Structure 1
Amino acid sequence: MKALSQRRRHPLAAVALLLMALLVTGGIYAVASSANEAKAQAVTFTANDVEEGGKLFAANCASCHGMGATGSDAAPSLVGAGAASVDFQVGSGRMPMQMDGPQAQVKPVQFTDEQVGQMAAYVASLGAGPAIPTDEMVDASEGDPAHGGELFRVNCAMCHNAAAAGGALTRGKYAPAIDGTSERHIYEAMVTGPQNMPVFSDANITPEDKQDIIAFLKTIESQGSPGGAALGSLGPVSEGLFIWVAGLGVIIAFTVWLTSRSS
């Protein structure tokens, strides 16, 4: 017993215990992260997809992003950007950019779905990154709109507006309206953080919570504005301006009418 007590009081015992705790914590975190990553890796690509995607990238993207997608003065490196980033940016028409500016503008998509997938496969082959979600992961019918609304108001409404109508940011940038955005692109935007949007990894918002947010957005999109004219969904600002302009117009019109009657 005395020998055991002495070993317990050894000066290095506390250090060993701390190292053991760190190893256990790190192992648990690695297992959890791997589980989430495994969910997102369900969409796979073939070697032919990577090869064809490399050709498309060299012809359409390398002038800015550099050969091998290592980046240049005009555009960042895409190594580690992941397939989801390419699928969102190219699939929504934001890339290739039409002109320089503070933010990539949405325009008609220039490639077929197959070509977008091939370019995504090529970029994914350069380094690990967010993968394209499966149809099951973005199925709005499986989500909880009420819970998704809570998450959206806490994490997204300060930029995108509580009604997902978008809003202005600084230096000519803006958070776009989400109305009409596909479920897959909504998910990809959360995991890649395009433009000025922060990245919401699975550690911040789980895949199930992302599905709930998608369900909320698709619910309000299908229901429309229950109060009539939305007026940009800007709340008291637009409503007050409308009342002021309309009310002042009525007063002026009534004053002109009274003046004409008296004369």
Structure 2
Amino acid sequence: MNRRELIAGLGTAGAIGLAGCLGVAGVDEHTATAVGVEKEARRETGYEQSEPEELVIEESVGAMGYSEDVIVTNYLVEHEKTVDMGPLGDQRAAVFIVLSTPQISVVGQQVNPVEDKSTKELVELVASNYDGLSNAQHETDEEVSIMDSSVTESVFVADAEFDGQEVEVNLHVTEAVKTADDLVVSIGVYPRELGRQERENIKTLMEAISVDVDVYTDNEDAADDDGNEADDGEDEGEGGDDEDSGIGV
């Protein structure tokens, strides 16, 4: 299951709708800011931050005989954790994503479709744009506090492909949270059998999302001390794995 393709599918689907609105309005480019998770929460949960990744969507749109290229730049900040998957061994199969996408207002109206989507609609959007996730079934809802906003966090049970095998996973998705300029959605995924531990870890990470984290320099996680990752053997022992071989989004 290629998590970058999956999230790119979410970004693409949302940005296509956004691009149409921007083209009509004559707004041709907008860029989000990468958003991360506070270092203490990463250390506590054992998740390591990866380098931020741009998801650039470029669409040619037209209206009333006029056509232009619309560019929307989203950012994805991924956090991974090595977990025991039984017969499959230790794998980077627990993943937490922070996705930021631009807030765009046209004549006072927000036109980014991500803002008004429910968690169910976000999951449907992901599933419709990526074949590696199937049979997503809603399990629970609860409120979570992200950057001083209370939003819905939903947990879904889904099937994901991992090294050619089907694995049941828990998929956590939040509604979009507004920052000054962007919309932020968080997504967590891990093998369902690890739910007792990872469910709380995902909540901890969600509550520690912050626009104040410098995602380009503040990425020295617990690998630099004797914290959880050292106990799990996540660093050197797993360094040779293909980063897209794990479960995740």
Q: TM-score by structure 1 length?
A: 0.22
Bigger proportion of residues as helix = 1
Q: TM-score by structure 2 length?
A: 0.23
Bigger proportion of residues as strand = 2
Higher relative contact order (CA 8 A, sep 6+): 2
